[in-house]
Chain A
Amino acid sequence: MRRVYLDHAATTAVHPEVLEEMLPYLKEEFGNPSSIYSWGREAKAAVEKARARLAHLLGAHPAEIVFTSGGTESDNFALRGVAAANSQKGNHIITTKIEHHAVLHTAEQLEKEGFRVTYLPVDRDGLVRPEDLEEALTPDTVLVSIMFANNEIGTIEPIAELARIAKSKGVIFHTDAVQAVGNIPIDVKELNVDLLSLSGHKIYGPKGTGALYIRRGTRIEPLLLGGAQERKWRAGTENVPGIVGLGKAAELAEKELPQRMKHLTELRDLLINGVMERIDHVRLNGHRTQRLPGNASFCFEFVEGESLLLNLDLAGIAASSGSACTSGSLEPSHVLMALGIPPEVAHGSLRLTLGRDNTREDVEYVLSVLPDIVARLRAISPLAPGGVKEDV
């Protein structure tokens, strides 16, 4: 049976060239970068090479990159670190209703610890309105955290404008760019952001790797205390093979970015247009054009997401959904709710995220099986109009 992986927003396969660069550091190059002898010096050099590569991808200075264990740690570091370092200045944080849980749950914890948090709404396409940010800023605001691109619906936020508004009031601006890095061009200097979270495994690097970009001079405290690694910004012996892999993944992302964007955008539009043409009562989630090149997100009315995923899996297709059943809660995804989608429609969400290895044939295969799956589930559904009266 044909197998098609369409969940690249969840994770990606390690690029063969990334694996190749990592292998020596899992074998003979096992030294601790903090050691002064040759093993240590070689490991240290490898970490610094990776740092330079990642900095180059972002338009940052290498000293502004701190390696972490991934996007979640970077988000925790940014929010908790800024909150701790600036609590004398104020206790107000602004974020949005559609952030990843790594930001949302950290913000909720900070609320318990005495911070006030404003969760900005979004429009029906998932875009934050700059005027809402402007209105929310107070003299007590110490941090604005707005994601670069949404993981579920793919909408790309107007980060440059939002950062400009925050910075004009002297407020630190953080962006969770886990889904954006490697998929669209990002230059931290041009965007004027202070903090940026990223993850290795979303860009064909290894899991358990990530980084936080920290603009020089940003008032922030470390999350993890201990040794003097990462110039005391992140204690703990470096994940050398992982960092080497992340560095290589960053280099490849920079080199391949124009082709990746073109390839993914073509496949995405083929997929979106094909689904909208072949299936009725379907809604495209997220902005039509201001969206990640590889993201296609839909809601199919009258059917439930987990049922869709199970059927797709039996057809060899890997996808994801924001239905309650797949989110592990009783309510559908907070992102789809924030768009104003009714719960019963949000339960029928399906996210297909493309990657560099996907082909036209993959998309055509999905388009050949998806309409029948939706039709079959609708025939069972009491919500579907003109319900089928006979056995199916």
Chain B
Amino acid sequence: MYNEKVMDHFMHPRNVGEIENPDGVGQVGNPVCGDIMKIFLRIKDGRIEDIKFKTFGCGAAIATSSMITELVRGKTLDEAMTISNKVVAEALGGLPPQKLHCSNLAADALHAAIEDYKRKRVS
């Protein structure tokens, strides 16, 4: 069902947890469909200095969350905004087709966290 890379991220997720007083937080998904992803950001000099996640969901949901934290750590916000759900799935070596729609939301959660950071800075 899942390839080795997905299973590796699922069983050994990177950067699990929360950041206290984060600079940005993003949450997507809903309990009805069974996937909730929450991403916490620490931003320094326009770059993602630290990123953590918490995810309720299936193997794909957890693996994509883990993968995106590796993809964007150290990146500028503009660079991070270019990361799409598709890029995350490709970085994992692909996901089963039925998972591409329901559980591949990590980039949405990341973008929501970046928007949250930008909103907070303006206010």
A interface residue numbers (CB < 8 A to B): 302-307, 310-311, 314, 323-325, 328, 330-332, 342-344, 347, 379-383, 387-392
Contacts and interface: CB of A to CB of B under 8 A. Distances in A.
Contact of B16 (A303, A305, A331, A379): A379
Q: Which 8 A-B pairs have the closest CB atoms?
A: A344-B31, A382-B54, A306-B58, A347-B34, A325-B58, A382-B38, A343-B32, A381-B56
B103 interface: yes
A305 B38 CA distance: 19
Contacts of B13: 380
A344 B55 contact: no
B55 A382 contact: yes
B57 interface: yes
Contacts of A302: 56
Contacts of B17: 388-392
A311 B35 CA distance: 17
22 contacts: A304-B58, A306-B58, A306-B59, A307-B10, A307-B62, A310-B2, A311-B11, A323-B34, A325-B34, A325-B58, A325-B99, A330-B34, A343-B34, A344-B32, A379-B16, A380-B55, A382-B36, A383-B36, A389-B20, A390-B17, A391-B15, A391-B16
B58 A331 contact: no
A310 B15 CA distance: 21
A389 B59 CA distance: 22
Contacts of B57: 304, 307
Contact of B103 (A303, A325, A332): A325
Nearest to B55: A380
Contacts of A382: 27, 36-38, 54-56
Chain B CB within 10 A, most for which of A324, A331, A392: A324
A379 B13 CA distance: 11
A383 B31 contact: yes
| Overall SS of chain B's interface | mixed
- Category for how many chain B residues contact A: 20 to 34
B115 interface: no
A304 B34 contact: yes
Nearest to A378: B56
Interface of B: 2, 7, 10-11, 13, 15-18, 20, 27, 31-38, 52, 54-59, 61-62, 98-99, 102-103
Given A380-B16, A387-B18, A330 B33 contact: yes
A343 B37 CA distance: 17
A380 to B, nearest CB: 5
B64 to A, nearest CB: 13
Nearest to B27: A382
B6 to A, nearest CB: 10
Contacts of B27: 382
Given A304-B34, A324-B33, A328-B98, A387 B54 contact: yes
Nearest to B13: A380
Given A330-B34, A331-B32, A383-B31, 18 more contacts: A304-B34, A304-B58, A307-B10, A311-B11, A324-B33, A324-B102, A325-B58, A325-B99, A331-B33, A344-B31, A344-B32, A379-B16, A380-B13, A380-B55, A381-B54, A381-B56, A382-B27, A388-B18
A333 to B, nearest CB: 11
Nearest to A310: B59
Nearest to A388: B17
Contacts of B11: 311, 314
A78 to B, nearest CB: 32
Nearest to B35: A304
B22 to A, nearest CB: 12
